[in-house]
């Protein structure tokens, strides 16, 4: 498996989630399975089935997080010699040329991307268009929903 880029904050967040799953969620689901088993016949026991399904989800997520963290390349955007250009981990304020609306996004790895938190994946069309650009540059974003033009207003390395 190739390396997975993560920001320092993203790696810490994934470590916290992994710790919580191992120390809190896993013991809870084991207790729920034991409780459901004590009720007798497992063939018609919905509690048991739900607990086993939850256990499968938790174990899968633990395995996924361990894999991501073991292959992670943790990148601190403040330590990159970016010379004022957009790089991995940078927070970029852009303005839509057509609507004049401003948006701010941080470019992160696929494993930590969350559009609700304005964290966009390095492999997204938006991030690919921004990488290497400077403040004042106009970028063309070719997205599945159409083409868009933005001006880079500000770049921060947090």
Q: Distance (Å, rounded) from C-alpha 132 to C-alpha 141?
A: 14
Sign, Cα dihedral of 69, 75, 78, 84: negative
What does the pLDDT profile of the chain (158 residues) look like in tens digits? 588 999 999 999 999 999 999 999 999 999 998 888 887 776 777 888 889 999 999 999 999 999 999 999 999 988 887 788 999 999 999 999 999 999 999 999 999 999 999 999 999 999 999 999 999 999 999 888 889 999 999 999 88
Please report which helix (H) or strand (E) contains residue 15, including its range: helix 8-20
Supply the range of the domain harboring residue 130.
76-156
Residue at token pair 């696929």: 110
Domain count, the chain: 2
pLDDT digits (tens, 9 = 90+) for 105-129: 999 999 999 999 999 999 999 999 9
Pair (22, 60) in one structural domain:
yes
**pTM for this prediction:** 0.83
Pair (69, 15) in one structural domain:
yes
CA nearest neighbour of 89 among 4, 15, 12, 5:
5
Pair (150, 80) in one structural domain:
yes
Q: Distance (Å, rounded) from C-alpha 114 to C-alpha 56?
A: 24
Residue at token pair 């993560």: 6
């Amino acid at each position: 498996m190739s390396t997975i880029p993560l920001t320092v904050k993203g790696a810490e967040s994934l470590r916290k989630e992994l710790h919580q799953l191992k120390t809190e969620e896993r013991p809870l689901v084991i207790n729920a399975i034991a409780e459901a088993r004590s009720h007798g016949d497992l063939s018609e026991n919905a509690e048991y089935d739900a607990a086993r399904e939850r256990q499968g989800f938790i174990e899968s997520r633990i395995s996924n997080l361990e894999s991501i963290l073991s292959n992670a390349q943790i990148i601190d955007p403040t330590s990159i010699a970016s010379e004022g250009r957009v790089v991995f981990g940078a927070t970029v304020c852009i303005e839509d040329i057509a609507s004049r609306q401003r948006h701010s996004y941080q470019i992160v790895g696929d494993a930590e991307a969350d559009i609700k938190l304005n964290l966009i994946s390095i492999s997204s069309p938006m991030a690919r268009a921004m990488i290497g650009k400077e403040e004042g540059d106009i970028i063309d974003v070719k997205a599945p929903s159409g083409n868009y033009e933005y001006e880079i207003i500000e770049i921060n390395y947090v």
